[in-house]
Structure 1
């Protein structure tokens, strides 16, 4: 948790919970677990319990102290939808996000099923309202304003995202995200461990005008953002390689494919980092050499969107590898909610 952060796509981090468990290949070299477990068993340390799930209710009000609007990454050291975190506590977190509508919250999870089930229930939003009145009773004026945001529509200042490290998890997590009520939806393809095809999920025909863009029909679903007969379902894609001990290298064509899929469909794309490995043809002739299989890490079949060419990568460290992709930075964001 920090007022500032080194994570390139956010301004601050807020951790009302800490701790998690590894559930997929993207978790293998989790930086948060590595950091927290260093301190396990040290009396009085913030991470005395290591990376066990721990609620931090003393941090719930922290966003209220940040007066300047900012993007806030929720639970950079945890996963809010972990099964050991109660619905009631999650409702308290959502109540705070409703109260502090000046901020934009980026909520990222690998537990897509619970997120979808919980946020799709009307009873959960009643619980958010109850927890707001109970725990933030000293904020009456702000809570009255926030109450208008709990009228059955997704909170406009909360972006919901899922982690997608390879095609297997893309096929599982993206449909769950699209089925979750949200104002803004995003993917974090980091660490990217193989080629991923997402283009088929980005747009759908408008259910009112059936893709024909009839103004009269679309007037009934204006809140679904019909554009030329279609509704955007994914609003942002982040992608990047892995850093730290055991980091797995990233094939450049996996990133190029995501960039091209989003660019061709008018979706903001953010390339966060190469990670510890950089392409040899970027001028790196030192560092441990790895030849990356275009099919991806742990893949045993050919993927139709994969390059057919192995690539030579050098382990030069995150800072040296940088963030340039084909000579430029890709730093696009979705527009904030009004």
Structure 2
């Protein structure tokens, strides 16, 4: 379970830069903007705002986590980014290339690149010299409309870039979603949390769980959502679903 992150489906969170632009309804109550712009003033959000590279100590974290994972004989899951977007076209290409190079140095890590701009993935990855072989590719789907629009983009990009697996973050889940055979390999579901959280109907989560299992997908339930410190809890019908895709261990 999480070690250096509050993201329950990862062991660590890594942010090589900060800053982003809202691109849809799931972004309306962006926690990263509220935290890093409104509260701490570290970056100006928006299309005319900043993209700020993080410190050398942050960039060094991957090597440390890779070493520890190797000593423990496991693959650690690393979510990137929580404070930006890997395929943001306002981020200097050199930063992205360097981030991928750093990831390639760390085979004991499984990099989880989640984006709301999945349509940029193929071209930007090619420009960076290819997608890291120890990386998975993900997209956010807050609604049926977003799933219908982007599911094929994610599937095609995952195949073109030879991603370890594809994953979909259905958080914040803003409505019911019907999956199909093009659904990503890993389905992560969660309600919105925070002071302005929009409620999630628990039946939407149940339906995604049932569809995921019927389709043979890995299902992870992150949280019910809400304003409370426990984010509404992590149980769905009295059970927790913290499953992850299985990945091969790195040969010693």
Give TM class, smaller chain. 0.7 to 0.9
Report matched runs for 1:105-120 at 5 Å: 105-119=111-125
1:29 to 2:29 alignment: yes
CA deviation after TM superposition for structure 1 residue 324, in Å: 1.1
Q: Kindly provide the CA deviation profile for residues 232-285 of structure 1, in whole angstroms up to 9, marking residues without a partner as x.
A: xx2201000001121000011111111011111221100000001xxxxxxxxx
Name the counterpart of 1:186: 167
- Number of aligned residue pairs: 231
Name the counterpart of 2:140: 163
Aligned to 2:192, the other structure's residue is in SS state coil
Name the counterpart of 2:51: 53
Distance 2:122 2:151 in 1: 11
CA spacing shift, 1:335–1:177, aligned 2, 3 Å: same
Q: Kindly provide the CA deviation profile for residues 116-143 of structure 1, in whole angstroms up to 9, marking residues without a partner as x.
A: 3223x3x532xx6xxxxxxxxxxxxxxx
CA deviation after TM superposition for structure 1 residue 337, in Å: 3.5
CA deviation after TM superposition for structure 1 residue 62, in Å: 2.2
Q: Which runs of 5+ in 1 are unaligned?
A: 41-46, 129-153, 203-233, 277-315
Aligned to 1:247, the other structure's residue is in SS state coil
TM-score by length of 2: 0.86
Report matched runs for 1:1-338 at 5 Å: 4-36=4-36, 37-40=38-41, 47=42, 49-51=43-45, 52-56=50-54, 58=56, 59-66=58-65, 67-69=67-69, 70-119=76-125, 121=126, 123-125=127-129, 155-180=132-157, 181=161, 182-202=163-183, 234-276=184-226, 317-319=228-230, 321-338=232-249
Distance 1:17 1:3 in 2: 21
CA deviation after TM superposition for structure 1 residue 3, in Å: 6.3
Aligned to 1:29, the other structure's residue is in SS state coil
Aligned to 1:73, the other structure's residue is in SS state strand
CA RMSD of aligned residues (A): 1.9
Distance 2:145 2:23 in 1: 13
CA deviation after TM superposition for structure 1 residue 65, in Å: 2.0
Distance 2:7 2:169 in 1: 13
CA deviation after TM superposition for structure 1 residue 174, in Å: 1.4
Distance 1:71 1:20 in 2: 23
Higher radius of gyration, 1 or 2: 1
CA deviation after TM superposition for structure 1 residue 166, in Å: 0.1
Q: Which moved more, 1:58-67 or 1:108-117?
A: 58-67
